[in-house]
Structure 1
Amino acid sequence: MEGTQTGRIRTSDAEREQTAEVLRAAMGEGRLPLDEGEARMTAVYAAVYRDELAPLTADLPGRGLPALARTPERRAAARRRLRAHAGAVMLVSGVLIAIWATTGAHFFWPVFAIVPLLLSVFKHAAVNRTGGTWHHRDWHGHGPWGPYDRFH
């Protein structure tokens, strides 16, 4: 009942772990000295409410998310998602071209679907190159404690 009376929302283990990942990435980049990073990590795992997590990453560039996106694990996952995206676009394009070929239409109508699909793959690749994320729910917006959760 305390959370509803104060308007504060309790944090989850997953949200604590996400914040801890951000702090580990920031320590790996040298943005946080080891002693300060350890103190923040202790505060992360002691946090009860979401609003206790936000200040722990507030002074990091981009709330620490760019550093997290540059970790080898995140880059490998981003490459896997890009390959899956490109594969799906190729499959859909192939099906559309097959339908066009079997119908005998003179105008190449699949171009209206294939061009936007290809552009989405190029955009996805560009986002990967800059270290951003592409449709990754947990880190879209401002993280689990920010505005994204207010709408979902």
Structure 2
Amino acid sequence: MRGRLSHWIALGFGSGLSPVAPGTVGTLWAWLVFVVADPLLSPAHWAIVLAAGFLIGIWACERTARDLGVADHGAVVWDEIVAFWLVLLFAPGGFGAQLAAFVLFRFFDIVKPPPIRHYDAKLKNGFGTMLDDLMAAFCTLLVLALFRAGFGGAAG
């Protein structure tokens, strides 16, 4: 990890090196960073962070995967981090709603229902690594929106 900036980024600044559930630990790290950074960043700043994070993630995840010899190594968690920041940005506020978003996001990221599974299997590069988590974020936000619509905003 020390040798390359791409490894630092792709491995979530060390959060992906957890021996147990590195994707979950990376997502928890993303949540912590979001809680600290959100009061300091406007929606426009978040848009820049997310766009830059996605583009940098394509490079960092691809390079790290190539160096590790595995297309989407479990320790590569930058994709979870950027995608979960997106979820938290649009999810209802409050700890309960954020916890629900966390559980839903981890579910979609682990289970990879269609069409996430299709793209995860077909795109074995940095873009594919980032895309499948972006799709998991979309599914998470969709379920949260449907829940809010069905229960009159009770989730937020």
Whose helix proportion is higher, 1 or 2? 2
**Structure with the larger RCO, 1 or 2 (CA within 8 Å, 6+ apart):** 2
Structure whose alpha-carbon radius of gyration is higher:
1
Normalised by the shorter chain, which TM-score bucket?
A: under 0.3
Normalising by structure 1, report the TM-score: 0.25
